[in-house]
Every structure is written in C-alpha cells, then in structure tokens.
Amino acid sequence: MPTEPASRVGSAVEPHPVLDGYYGGKAQRQQFVRGLFNRTAHHYDRINAIFALGSGSWYRAQCLKRAGLRPGMRVLDVAIGTGLVAREAVALCSDPDDVIGLDLSEAMLAEARRNLPIALIQGVADALPLADSSVDLVTIGYALRHVGDLTATFREFRRVLRPGGTVLVMEIGRPRRPVTRHLMNAYLGMVVPTVSRLSGGGESGRTLMRYYWETIDRCVDPEVITAAMAAAGLAQVRCDTDYDLFKNYSGKRPDEAAA
C-alpha cells in the first residue's frame, strides 16, 4: 500500500489517505470521527475487550513504565476515550490531579468522567488548549491514525512538554509478516466488526471496527511517523514493535538548558 514519503514531513502529513467510503474529503474527516465515537462511546469498552489482543491494562501500564512515568510527573493523555490509558497513568502517578485527559468526542469524555476523577478537556491533538511547557509526558493510545496532520500534532506535543519531557504513542501497525497481516485482516476486518454489531454495538459498532482496521491497513509507514516526530523537534525518536503488531513510538523534547 503506497504511503507518504518521509521527505514530505516538513509540511502536512496525513496518517492515511482519505477513506471515501466513510466521508467525502479531508474537511469531513474530523466531523466523521467525532460522530462515530460519540455514537459508540457507550459500547467502546466492550468492543475494546473483543479486539484488545494483549493491549489490555497490563500492556498499557508496561508501555507507560518504559516511557519513564513515575509519581510527581504531569501527564496529558490525548484521545483519552473512555480512559483506558489514563487509568494506568493515574495508578502510576499516584495522584489523579497529575493526569489530564483530552478528547474530540464529548460522549467519550462523559464515559471517562464516570470512571476517573481527573481534569478532562474537549479538544483536538493539533491545537492543544494547554500552556507551553506544562506537562512531563504526552501520550496518545491507539488514536494517532485519527488526527488530521502528524507534523502539526507532534509540534503541539513538543510545545506543551517541559524540556526533557517525553512523547509516547501507542499504536497498532500494519503487520510486516504476510501471515500476521492475513490473520489480522480476517480478525479485525471481518470477525471483530461482526461480533461488535451482534454484542450490542449495532451498525455503528460494526462501522467503527471496520474503519479502525482500514486506518491501520492504510496508515503511513512507521518511518514516516518517526520522521514527522523528528521534523517537529523531538529528539531520541524511536519505534519499538511488539508481536509484529503493536508499535510504541517515543521521543523527547530536548533539554535546552543542558544543550
């Protein structure tokens, strides 16, 4: 599947092409995503349990630990959803006041509010309503494929980070091995959407999971994502892969005082 070349990361870089089976063009993407998650928020945790495939609470906690999260750090969880990543961040920080959640979907924020006593903000990843240098860790869990512009998003992440702070992106990537890709295409592309619809998510649940898989399958290569991170001013950028499926991207805002 063709992807954007890394040489173009100085300008806008979309995470995947326009999926015209779901929305008409770039201008409609954000509205479509917001509406889709609003309609499925009440069912999302059940859907997540179906397709988690090892990305449950233990895995999310391990990713946060590897990123260096510890008590006393302030965390921004972008695209918080129902709070699955933020919940682990609160446990590691030991203080709910140190975790902030942000999401485009008001219905997702309402679900997160039911479970987490943290600050919640409605907003988008490429225009964060936070002050410069205000957090130690920015995380986004399995939602980078839904932003409009990778470069602008990572610039915003760098802006709100304190010097030395870390960006952690947890994602599901298109498998490299043909056998894994065929299995995931069958599971996430066909089995999970059907089970989601039958288990209470209805047609919106089915659409969510079909869209989820298509954004994975047509996402730009990891090298484009890491190049966009570097172009946004992040240092020590890397991508670690688990099980030929889970991608963990990380980078740091340089500590200017130490430079």
Cβ neighbors of 54 (< 8 A, separation 6 or more) are: 242, 243, 246
| pLDDT tens for each residue of 54-112 | 458 899 999 999 999 999 999 999 999 999 999 999 999 999 999 999 999 999 999 99
Instruction: Please state which architecture CATH assigns to domain 54-173+219-259.
Output: 3-Layer(aba) Sandwich (3.40)
Residue 141: name the closest of 98, 83, 188, 202 by CA.
83
Measure the CA–CA gap between 47 and 63, rounded to whole angstroms.
Answer: 21
| DSSP letters for 99-114 | EEEEES-HHHHHHHHH
Residue with more model confidence, 19 or 54: 19
Residue with more model confidence, 257 or 90: 90
Both tokens of 32, joined, read 């479509």
Predicted model pTM: 0.91
Measure the CA–CA gap between 207 and 215, rounded to whole angstroms.
Answer: 12
Measure the CA–CA gap between 259 and 251, rounded to whole angstroms.
Answer: 16
Residue 7: the pLDDT is 37
Residue with more model confidence, 3 or 254: 254
